[in-house]
Chains A and B, each alone.
Chain A
Amino acid sequence: DGGITQSPKYLFRKEGQNVTLSCEQNLNHDAMYWYRQDPGQGLRLIYYSQIVNDFQKGDIAEGYSVSREKKESFPLTVTSAQKNPTAFYLCASRPSWQEGTTDEQFFGPGTRLTVL
Chain B
Amino acid sequence: GQNIDQPTEMTATEGAIVQINCTYQTSGFNGLFWYQQHAGEAPTFLSYNVLDGLEEKGRFSSFLSRSKGYSYLLLKELQMKDSASYLCAVDIYNFNKFYFGSGTKLNVKP
Residues of A within 8 A of B (CB): 31, 33, 35, 40-45, 48, 50, 58, 88, 90, 94, 97-102, 104-110, 112
The 5 closest A-B pairs by CB, nearest first: A107-B42, A42-B102, A42-B100, A43-B100, A104-B45
Of the candidates B30, B43, B97, the one whose C-beta lies within 8 Å of that of A107 is B43
What is the count of residue pairs linking A and B with beta-carbon distances less than 8 angstroms? 64
Nearest A-chain residue to B96, judged by Cβ: A97
Residues of B within 8 A of A101 (CB): 96
Q: Does B67 contact A (CB under 8 A)?
A: no
Question: Are A41 and B103 interface neighbours, CB within 8 A?
Answer: yes
Question: Are B101 and A31 interface neighbours, CB within 8 A?
Answer: no
Residues of A within 8 A of B44 (CB): 107
| Chain B residues numbered 68-109 whose CB sits less than 8 Å from any CB in chain A | 87, 89, 93-94, 96-103, 105
Given the known A-B contacts A42-B87, A50-B96, A100-B30, are A109 and B42 also in contact in the complex, defined by CB atoms under 8 Å?
yes
Residues of B within 8 A of A98 (CB): 96
Question: Are B93 and A58 interface neighbours, CB within 8 A?
Answer: no
Most buried by A among B30, B97, B103: B97
- B35-47: CB near A (< 8 Å → 1, else 0) gives 0000011111100
Question: Are B42 and A108 interface neighbours, CB within 8 A?
Answer: yes
Once the chains are docked, how many angstroms separate the CA of A114 from the CA of B67? 43
Given the known A-B contacts A41-B102, A108-B42, are A100 and B93 also in contact in the complex, defined by CB atoms under 8 Å?
yes
Most buried by A among B8, B40, B94: B40
Given the known A-B contacts A31-B96, A102-B48, A102-B50, are A110 and B42 also in contact in the complex, defined by CB atoms under 8 Å?
yes
Nearest A-chain residue to B88, judged by Cβ: A42
Once the chains are docked, how many angstroms separate the CA of A44 from the CA of B98? 9
Residues of B within 8 A of A43 (CB): 43, 87, 89, 98, 100
Question: Are A102 and B31 interface neighbours, CB within 8 A?
Answer: yes
